[in-house]
Amino acid sequence: MQQIQTYLLSTAPTQAIRSTLQSFLTPSTPAAGAKPVSLGLLIHERVINTPTELLPHFHTALADDIAWAAKNDENKTNYQYTHFLLISRCVLESGRLAGGAGGAAVGAGGKKNKQKKAKSSAAGHTDMQTILSDAMFPRFEDQFYAQNASTLYFPRDSTESKGHSVHGSTQRVVMIFPASAVMKVAQRLTDVLGSETIADDAAGGDGADDS
């Protein structure tokens, strides 16, 4: 985990993003009554030919497993995740990314604009969402996580960014999103894939261990 932290901090494209990462990686003591920030690392891999109808259940099972572990933790302090970190990759259309793997405040359409540097982080986040709306994710559900992300950026000096395919350039993307997004993504997958709803599964999986 220390190596991942070092990578994230060393490749953050701006000081603002680096400060945000620090607040998640080394959170300070919360104010009275506030819930402490707890960041979990989401490792998301699957074989390429996994039946798509299984995908909603994978993400539902993740949320259920974490909830079960937190509920049954003797100390009641572990697994209390408020956010998750996901390092994914996507393929961008050639020329889509302005200024290389440069970070949050990048403009759509591949045109370099120096005035973007003066924009707020909120504007940069909007630009990222615009760019990623046309990106192709090998695991397409990662785009749904990106849509729920509060922190979203392309790391600097990413080896992935140097790769090219017939579709464009492959770029690593870092995102941090609320823990509640896992169930939102599971439901979104259900809606998109036309599977039966997961509401009953989510409710039923929680009461089995009360006996």
pLDDT per position as a tens digit, 60-84: 999 999 999 999 999 888 899 999 9
16, containing H or E segment: helix 15-25
Q: What pLDDT band is residue 19 in, cutting at 50, 70 and 90?
A: very high
Tokens of 101: 């793997």
Distance, CA of 30 to CA of 64 (rounded, Å)? 26
pLDDT attached to residue 92: 85
> What is the percent of the chain where pLDDT is above 70?
70
Q: pLDDT, tens digit, for every residue of 106-147?
A: 323 333 333 444 344 555 566 888 888 888 998 989 999 999
The average pLDDT across 4-30 equals: 88
124, containing H or E segment: helix 121-132
Distance, CA of 104 to CA of 107 (rounded, Å)? 9
> What is the percent of the chain where pLDDT is above 90?
41
pLDDT attached to residue 157: 63
Q: Which residues pair with 172 in a beta bridge?
A: 89
Instruction: Output DSSP code: residue 208.
Output: T
Q: What pLDDT band is residue 49 in, cutting at 50, 70 and 90?
A: confident
pLDDT at 101 over 50: no
pLDDT at 105 over 70: no
Q: Specify the pTM.
A: 0.74
pLDDT attached to residue 84: 96
Helix axes 121-132, 15-25, angle to 10 degrees: 90
Which residues contact residue 67 at a Cβ distance below 8 angstroms, ignoring those fewer than 6 apart?
Answer: 206
pLDDT attached to residue 134: 84
